[in-house]
Amino acid sequence: MKLTVYGGRRLFGEVTVDGAKNAALPLLAATVLTDDEVILENVPDVGDVRTMIALLESVGKRVSALDPGVYSIRTGRELVGIPPDSLVRKLRASFLLLGPLMVRLGYSQLPLPGGCPIGVRPVDLHLKGLRALGAQIESRGGFWCAAAGQLRSAEIHLDYPSVGATEQIMMTAALIPGRTVISNPAQDPEVHDLARLLIKMGAGIMIEPGRLHIEGAKTLSGTVHTVIPDRINAGTFLIAGAIAGGDVTVRRCQPLHLEALLSKLDELGLTVQEHVESVRVISDGPGSFAGGRVEARPYPGFPTDLQPQMMALLSVARGSSVIKETVWESRFAHAAELARMGAQIRLEGATAYLEGVRGLVGTQVCVNDVRAGAALTLAGLVADGATVIIDRDEHIRRGYRDLAGELHRLGAAIIEETLEEKEVVGTEAR
């Protein structure tokens, strides 16, 4: 995919946010815990969700689209515990199937999954949790092979509040009678959305500060569940309004899930108005807001998935800024691309130091992960001339149903095209 953005247009109007990709993925994975029909509503139409649906079908689930964003998932044929490598390697979140398939079938096998190149992305906490629950797991020829030993509830401490590991343990423990306790769990809204689904399916889940209790059941049943709104996409559009200038309202979002971003935008001097299910940002564009300090941390800290977008914003702030990334060890690849657009950024390990510039300059840039793609698109909104964003692996579509179309509807001058073969070669050469 190629986006061409002509900078200098302010944004006005409303955008309605889809369901959260990072909630939909574990919710879909959880459907393997029952043969009954689970109906999921407000499922976003993005690449990663399509891949997860294909994975479910590959292990024996029948997935039917009932309405746009509404899917019925039930068991179509006997489930198998070994999804095809080709699909698993496309999606890091496919690893969430290891525990649920193992606890349902007694075995599962997955290669180490792929995903965004934002760091090593180990799975040690997933494996620690599953082994504590009685799974026997070993790596054989690049695969993780899990077998159900004497499955039992357990007390598991996570050295790091990993979102995926928390979800993996929750889903697996939901089918193991007894009380499993996770200490230091991830507290993200997407984790709590999964808890709500598991409760509807028959598990008992109680969340208290720093601990998550799961009362497992022998069997789990079908239900209906609506995916929460995507706070990262909501935040992306709010930052778009802030950087370009104008007046943008993001509808069907939950301000409570965006507190770290909203207070930061307010601190920079932007006008932010919160309503029950929408947020409005009013901005005079580049240079009209101050620089500041952003530290990406586990929820409820500032979301790492909005760190690249904030780097674009702070590139055109008044004065200097500091961005510290504490979640992923190498999530600054977008800094080099922003610098090619004229941003003044100095990297020292996990910290980026920025000096705001009056404006950026359009050029050709490359996308290497979903949120970096969003950040470069936002930077293009305020760059002189045309910014050509080359997204060879369609990263942006993995997380955004129609980023270009939504920005265009808000007033951006943006064109989306398929990539010509020669252009792809060009980016490889760079």
Residues that bind ligand EPZ (CB under 6 A): 21-22, 25, 92-93, 116, 119, 121-126, 160, 162-165, 186, 304-305, 327-328, 370-371, 399
Q: Name 251's bridge partners.
A: 16, 278
The smaller minimum CB distance to ligand EPZ, of residues 119 and 319, is found at 119
* CB 248, CB 237: distance < 8 Å: yes
Tell me how long the chain is. 430
CB of 422 to ligand EPZ, least distance (A): 30
Nearer to ligand EPZ, 123 or 220 (CB): 123
First to last CA, the chain: 17
**Minimum distance from residue 59 beta carbon to ligand EPZ (Å):** 18
Contact (CB, 8 A) for 15 and 406: yes
- Give the number of other Cβ atoms within 10 Å of residue 358's Cβ: 10
Using DSSP's 3-state secondary structure scheme, residue 319 falls into: coil
Please provide residue 260's backbone torsions phi and psi, each rounded to the nearest 5 degrees.
Answer: -60, -40
Give min distance, CB of 371 to ligand EPZ, in A: 5
* Smallest separation, CB 302 to ligand EPZ (Å): 11
Q: How far is CA 117 from the centre of its chain?
A: 14
The one catalytic residue in 116, 145, 253, 366 is 116
- Kindly state the DSSP code that residue 132 receives in the 8-state scheme: H
Smallest separation, CB 232 to ligand EPZ (Å): 6
Query: Taking the complex as a whole, how short is the minimal distance between the CB of residue 171 and ligand EPZ, in angstroms?
Result: 13
* Cα 248 to Cα 13: distance, rounded to the nearest angstrom: 5
Give the bridge partners for 417, in sequence order: 2
The residue of the chain with the least Cβ separation from ligand EPZ equals: 164
Please, which residue, 304 or 364, has the CB nearer to ligand EPZ? 304
Residue among 295, 249, 293, 252 at smallest CA distance from 271: 249
State the minimum distance, in angstroms, from the CB of residue 240 to ligand EPZ: 17
Contact 387, 4 (CB under 8 A): yes
The DSSP symbol for 349 reads: T
| Cα 88 to Cα 58, 115, 414, distances in angstroms | 11, 9, 33
Nearest-angstrom CA–CA distance, 311 and 326 = 15
- Least distance in Å: CB of 385 to ligand EPZ? 29
**145 belongs to the catalytic site:** no
| The residue to which tokens 């969430």 are assigned | 96
| Cβ-proximal residues to 267 (8 Å cutoff; 6+ apart), any chain | 292
Q: Output Rg (C-alpha) for the chain, integer angstroms.
A: 22
**Which C-beta is closer to ligand EPZ: that of 134 or that of 399?**
399
**Among 272, 379, 270, 279, which Cα is nearest to 318's?**
270
CA nearest to 93, candidates 35, 34, 168:
168
Select 1 or 123, whichever has its Cβ closest to ligand EPZ. Answer: 123
Point out the residues that are catalytic: 116
